[in-house]
Structure 1
Amino acid sequence: MSEDDSLSLAQKAYHTVTPGTRPRTNSEMDSIGWTMFLILVVLMVPFLPFIAIVYVLSKVFGYLNAQRGPSP
């Protein structure tokens, strides 16, 4: 019986030539991600009034359309 025969299916699937690494925090990428998020928030804040207006108008027109009834 060879060594490959004694390995379980999970061990065969995970078989690799590189050594395993331990999980660790990646603070550099974390700070880049937060920076990108904050930039997007700053860019989107001026659009919030327009988004709110479009939302309210769509609700008003939907309500008026429902009051009018089905079209013939």
Structure 2
Amino acid sequence: MSEDDSPSLARQAYRTVTPGSHTRPNSEMDSIGWTMFLLLIVLLVPFLPFIAIVYVLSKVFGYLNAQRGPSP
């Protein structure tokens, strides 16, 4: 048995009884994913101003609290 006839190390380590699978594009799940993404965008965009206001207020109050110093 020559080197060309023996299986490679990767082929020896990848021993399985099931045949290998061949990948294909899954357009059904792709369209479901895009639909969910767009639905989340449509639902979250109206809340962006409120999220921004809460974020800015938390930063302002954190800054003011740091300026006041530690509480006794």
So what's the TM-score if we normalise by structure 1? 0.74
User: Match of 1:20, SS?
Assistant: coil
Structure 1 CA distance, aligned partners of 2:13 and 2:45? Answer: 48
Identify the range of structure 1 (44-53 vs 14-23) with the bigger mean alpha-carbon deviation: 14-23
Unpaired runs of at least 5, structure 2: 1-9
Unpaired runs of at least 5, structure 1: 1-9
Report the counterpart of residue 57 of structure 1 in structure 2. Answer: 57
Cα shift at 1:16? 4.2
So what's the TM-score if we normalise by structure 2? 0.74
Report the counterpart of residue 66 of structure 1 in structure 2. Answer: 66
Cα shift at 1:18? 3.3
Number of residue-to-residue matches in the alignment? 67
Can you list the C-alpha shifts for 1:15-64, whole angstroms capped at 9, x where unaligned?
54432211221111111101100001100111101100100000000000
User: Match of 1:70, SS?
Assistant: coil
Structure 2 CA distance, aligned partners of 1:13 and 1:47? Answer: 52
User: Match of 1:23, SS?
Assistant: coil
- Structure 1 segments, 4+ long, off by >2 Å, are 10-19
Q: Would you tell me which structure has more helix in proportion to its own residues?
A: 1
